[in-house]
Amino acid sequence: MEGTRHEKSKLKDSPQENGVHTNQYSSISPPASPVAQDEPFSTYFEERVPIPDSENQLFSFRKLWAFTGPGFLMSIAYLDPGNIESDLQSGAAAGFKLLWVLLVSTIIGLLLQRLAARLGVVTGMHLAEVCNRQYSTVPRIILWLMVELAIIGSDMQEVIGCAIALNLLSVGRIPLWGGVLITITDTFVFLFLDKYGLRKLEAFFGFLITVMAVSFGYEYVLVKPDQGELLKGMFVPYCAGCGPVQLEQAVGIVGAVIMPHNIYLHSALVKSREVDRKNKKEVKEANKYFFIESTIALFVSFLINVFVVAVFAQAFYNKSNIEVNAECNATGSPHTDLFPLNNNTLEVDIYKGGIVLGCFFGPAALYIWAIGILAAGQSSTMTGTYSGQFVMEGFLNLRWSRFARVLLTRSIAITPTLLVAIFQDVQHLTGMNDFLNVLQSLQLPFALIPILTFTSLKSIMNDFANGLGWKISGGILILGVCAINMYFVIVYVTSLNSVVLYVLAALISVAYLAFVAYLAWHCLVALGVSCLDCCSRMQLGVSRHTDMYLLNDMDSNTLVDR
């Protein structure tokens, strides 16, 4: 109680500048404890982009350009090989009918990314750092492990996507494991491009997004999709004649678009701009421009995803294996064995997608497809590595050299990928991708619940905390997204047809749901459900920063910005 009174007295004495309260943790990247605050914590982005002045302007293109970058790096997660595979599979399985699911998922993703960006802008800390400060040791370690699993799962899909692209471009001469090694090497090289300037690094990512747009746009123009059916599928939320296969595909789209580690990434990337967080006007302006930039970036990523869905919807919807086999045989393709001589509906992945494009539209379509996949895989692998660094630095408060941090985070994600590449054939990766999608679906609550929790707390966000509307809508959205992904997990587990695996899944589910319930409890307290705040004063599961759970005891004049 004495410590609590002392904490509150410090809060009351905290000065106020330009309408935003400050305290001893008001540095850009605060340390984990007050003792170490004279030792600045170095994030990966050491350079900060200055923001030009524009007096009394409601909107400035110069300022928007200065803020442009983090949103486009974030949007790359919406274009990774896992998303591309989900797009082509939904097109082949349901035609244009699930485009509205892609649109809604992208909008939900934008709203969640808005929360992530606001947390980084207002606090000067990214989500992993805030989790490190606000959760006690055991939950913090569990949370870190869960997010690392999500990053590893995503990274495996991205690196293998690059390896598949290299295999297609080399006409099979580069094996899967060789492509993985090449991807690892060039990722190390590209990650140090920011030594030549952060804006040059962001421009390189912009170039890779442009390559994807041109590659998949070429396929779109080549196939000439029915524009009327495309618009109908995008804006009419209905799926006529759809069954379990299409339902699972719709759930897969949601899971592919909304990725847990991307929330952590975006909250860190916004720290790369010079924003005076003691100035309420500058913080508000930064929030506005980052949201505009994120909207533009996700609109571009949505168009690229639409290109892929439309190509496979127009060309391969309702195609049978025997039809594709005959076409590939007629064009002299060496891959006719991929498509058995039966009337089953064609099932495609990234590798088979390139093959069927080559069979139906010529070798150029195959190679351009592979170039697009290579750009998608390479860019998402790099941003995945950034995510790993931010998560590890934030949760564990690492103070290693940058090369050591890159090496560790890269090794954690790459080792299982290399093992898969050595022991798996490029033509039989669908089962592994299904497992990785389930793995990432399971990790969603460990990003979405904390981001809603912290952005709803006035003791952290001050005047920028979520209002009642955002709290309710955010809670409903997160509950809906998590429920959809849990359905996807249940469908996958029930398809395994193994009693042993059912028992194992049940045991894991008990521990998993208990931890999700713990996070949800804290979230509900943050959202204002005061009847659940029965144990916070006893500090059960609450970190040393007790101001987070003392909202009912704090006068509005004692609020701080973190």
Question: What's residue 431's pLDDT?
Answer: 66
Res. 41 pLDDT band, cuts 50 70 90: very low
What is the chain's mean pLDDT, rounded? 82
Question: What's residue 235's pLDDT?
Answer: 95
Question: What's residue 99's pLDDT?
Answer: 95
Q: Average of pLDDT values for 63-77?
A: 94
Question: What's residue 185's pLDDT?
Answer: 82
Question: What's residue 9's pLDDT?
Answer: 36
Query: CA–CA separation, 397 vs 148, rounded Å?
Result: 15
Report the range out of 24-33, 300-309, 317-326, 497-506 with the highest average pLDDT.
Answer: 300-309
Question: What's residue 427's pLDDT?
Answer: 64
Question: What's residue 249's pLDDT?
Answer: 87
Question: What's residue 557's pLDDT?
Answer: 34
Q: Which of 91-95, 164-168, 380-384, 551-555 has the lowest mean pLDDT?
A: 551-555
Query: Is residue 562 over pLDDT 70?
Result: no
Torsion, Cα of 41, 43, 46, 47 (10° steps): -120
Q: Which residue has the higher pLDDT, 339 or 423?
A: 339
Query: Is residue 132 over pLDDT 80?
Result: yes
Q: Which of 133-147, 180-194, 234-248, 508-522 has the lowest mean pLDDT?
A: 180-194
Query: Is residue 314 over pLDDT 90?
Result: yes
Res. 514 pLDDT band, cuts 50 70 90: very high
Question: What's residue 256's pLDDT?
Answer: 85
Question: What's residue 45's pLDDT?
Answer: 57
Res. 6 pLDDT band, cuts 50 70 90: very low
Query: Is residue 16 over pLDDT 60?
Result: no
Question: What's residue 17's pLDDT?
Answer: 42
| Burial class, 383, CB count within 10 angstroms (exposed 0-12 / middle 13-18 / buried 19+) | buried
Q: Which residue has the higher pLDDT, 221 or 415?
A: 221
CA angle 145, 185, 151 (to 5 degrees): 20
Query: CA–CA separation, 483 vs 380, rounded Å?
Result: 26
CA separation, residue 392 to residues 123, 389, 408 (Å): 19, 5, 10
Q: Which residue has the higher pLDDT, 17 or 268?
A: 268
Q: Which residue has the higher pLDDT, 559 or 237?
A: 237
- Residue-wise pLDDT for 172-231, tens only, equals 888 888 888 888 887 777 767 767 778 888 899 999 999 999 999 999 999 999 999 999
Query: CA–CA separation, 522 vs 544, rounded Å?
Result: 15
Query: CA–CA separation, 88 vs 350, rounded Å?
Result: 8
Q: Are 122 and 277 in contact (CB under 8 A)?
A: yes
Which of 132, 135, 161, 160 has the alpha carbon at shortest distance from 268? 132
- Tokens 């899971």, located at residue: 255
Report the range out of 304-313, 333-342, 395-404, 522-531 with the highest average pLDDT.
Answer: 304-313
- Residue-wise pLDDT for 363-372, tens only, equals 999 999 999 9
Query: Is residue 266 over pLDDT 90?
Result: yes
Q: Which residue has the higher pLDDT, 374 or 183?
A: 374
Ordered domains of the chain (ranges, CATH) = 61-443 (1.20.1740.10)
Q: Which of 127-136, 287-296, 328-337, 538-547 has the lowest mean pLDDT?
A: 538-547
Query: Is residue 430 over pLDDT 70?
Result: no
Question: What's residue 194's pLDDT?
Answer: 66
Query: Is residue 358 over pLDDT 60?
Result: yes
What percent of the chain has pLDDT above 90? Answer: 44
For residue 462, the tally of other CB atoms under 10 A from its CB is 19
Which of 374, 98, 432 has the alpha carbon at shortest distance from 249? 98
